[in-house]
């Protein structure tokens, strides 16, 4: 399955560019734009028998590592909004280090591309012992996490070879958005909002095709950053996860120190590092955080004279994937197999 690079030089590059198709596959047969009645709905076979239990949960907890954790963080606001249930975030190893309380009426969603990450699997064992309902979101049919959870959804992104996750990240977010839609499907007051989200999801592959046209622009930006020591990314709201994931990509493959910062926290620390030399990416989309991000930009501009800003209406993560890819190639590093990292970490 899809194991040659085709016209691309690297797997990461191929996987970035095939996202319109991988997202279409993730949604296929699951999002229904009903014929003449124009009824829009979501159908997730692997969850349907458990939705009632999930809706009655005391809380929903996301557990993952690395990019999978970031995907869950990206989906959190939409799940909170549509389920009206508190949604907590847990890094698998940290939950175990703390032996954090887990309850019988918790729904725990395990997010893992490989379905084999040891930390996530150990957290799954712990959650099962504590009686929680365990849901698996993986890209690997038959993986340990898929087998050992009570129910779940495969993201169907196709095999991902590049160690740094790209297309699996976007498919995880889309699948988690569909999970949120399924959990909220009975709520009359959010019907219009849900239909709007379904429509946006169905239009996403086309939007991504547009954003991928930024390739050359991102290469130019990468060229200007090639000898930097560090890169800071600011995001908030839906784009907090974008900032963390953008920085993770730059660290993983371009081997450059990078930090994703919640913009609301800027004044509580990072601002001290801002000077003329520190390169900063501010992620801004037209959402409820737009004006707050504008004031962040103003505050930063007051401290420096030159800046480059990435601006797109939607799909804000894609340009950062392209940026990390080009930065790596230009710096001469191995983009598909970064030093010291493994695609799937099966030891604790
Ligand atoms: C490793 C990989 C990352 C991945 C993380 C979680 O660190 O290098 O790309 O995000 O594991 O993997 P999973 O398969 O559980 O999503």
Instruction: Indicate if ligand 1 lies below 6 Å from the C-beta of 341.
Output: yes
Report the separation in Å between the CA atom of 193 and the middle of ligand 1, taken as the mean of its atom positions: 32
In a mutational test of the pocket of ligand 1, which residue from 65, 70, 251 has the highest number of ligand atoms less than 8 Å from its CB?
65
Quick one: pLDDT band at residue 37, thresholds 50, 70, 90? low
Which atom of ligand 1 has the smallest separation from the CA of 168? Answer: 16
Instruction: Indicate if ligand 1 lies below 6 Å from the C-beta of 117.
Output: yes
Q: pLDDT at residue 347 above 90?
A: no
Query: Burial of 55 by CB count in 10 Å (0-12 exposed, 13-18 middle, 19+ buried)?
Result: middle
CA dist 73 and 59 (Å) reads 15
- What percentage of the chain has pLDDT greater than the value 90? 77
pTM: 0.95
Q: What is the pLDDT of residue 38?
A: 65
Instruction: Indicate if ligand 1 lies below 6 Å from the C-beta of 230.
Output: no
Instruction: Indicate if ligand 1 lies below 6 Å from the C-beta of 343.
Output: yes
- Hey, whose CA ends up nearest to atom 11 of ligand 1? 344
In a mutational test of the pocket of ligand 1, which residue from 67, 73, 244 has the highest number of ligand atoms less than 8 Å from its CB?
67
Taking only the tens place, the pLDDT of each residue in 186-220 is 999 999 999 999 999 999 999 999 999 999 999 99
Q: pLDDT at residue 302 above 90?
A: no
Question: Hey, which of 34-38, 147-151, 233-237, 271-275 has the most confident mean pLDDT?
Answer: 147-151
β-strand 87-91 against 133-138: which pairing, if any?
Answer: unpaired
Report the separation in Å between the CA atom of 68 and the middle of ligand 1, taken as the mean of its atom positions: 7
Count CB atoms within 10 A of the CB of residue 250: 28
Average pLDDT over residues 311-334: 87
Quick one: pLDDT band at residue 176, thresholds 50, 70, 90? very high
Query: Rounded to whole angstroms, what are the CA distances from 275 to 14, 133, 271, 279?
Result: 36, 48, 9, 9
Report the separation in Å between the CA atom of 281 and the middle of ligand 1, taken as the mean of its atom positions: 24
Q: What is the pLDDT of residue 1?
A: 45
């Amino acid at each position: 399955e899809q194991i040659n690079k085709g016209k691309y030089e690297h797997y990461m590059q191929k996987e970035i560019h095939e996202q319109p198709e991988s997202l279409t596959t993730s949604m296929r047969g699951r999002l229904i734009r009903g014929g003449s009645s124009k009824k829009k709905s979501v159908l997730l076979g692997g969850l349907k028998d458990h939705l009632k239990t999930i809706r009655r949960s005391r809380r929903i907890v996301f557990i993952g590592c690395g990019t999978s954790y970031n995907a869950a963080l990206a989906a959190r606001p939409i799940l909170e909004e549509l389920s009206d249930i508190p949604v907590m975030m847990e890094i698998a190893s940290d939950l175990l280090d703390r032996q954090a309380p887990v309850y019988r009426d918790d729904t725990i969603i395990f997010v893992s591309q490989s379905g084999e990450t040891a930390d996530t699997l150990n957290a799954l064992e712990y959650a099962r012992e504590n009686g929680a309902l365990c849901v698996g979101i993986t890209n690997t049919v038959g993986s340990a996490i898929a087998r050992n959870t009570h129910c779940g959804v495969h993201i169907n992104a196709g095999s991902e070879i590049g160690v740094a996750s790209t297309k699996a990240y976007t498919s995880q977010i889309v699948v988690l958005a569909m999970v949120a839609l399924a959990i909220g499907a009975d709520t009359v007051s959010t019907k219009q909002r849900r239909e709007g989200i379904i429509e946006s999801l169905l239009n996403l592959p086309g939007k991504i095709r547009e954003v991928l046209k930024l390739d050359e622009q991102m290469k130019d930006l990468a060229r200007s950053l090639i000898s930097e020591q560090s890169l800071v990314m600011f995001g908030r709201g839906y784009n907090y996860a974008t900032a963390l994931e953008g920085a993770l990509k730059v660290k993983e493959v371009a081997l450059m120190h990078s930090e994703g910062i919640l913009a609301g926290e800027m004044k509580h620390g990072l601002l001290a590092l801002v000077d003329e030399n520190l390169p900063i990416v501010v992620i801004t989309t037209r959402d409820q955080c737009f004006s707050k991000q504008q004031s962040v930009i103003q505050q930063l501009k007051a401290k420096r004279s030159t800046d480059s800003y990435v601006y797109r209406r939607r799909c804000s993560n894609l340009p950062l994937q392209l940026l990390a890819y080009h930065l790596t190639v230009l710096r001469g590093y191995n983009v598909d197999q970064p030093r010291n990292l493994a695609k799937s970490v099966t030891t604790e």
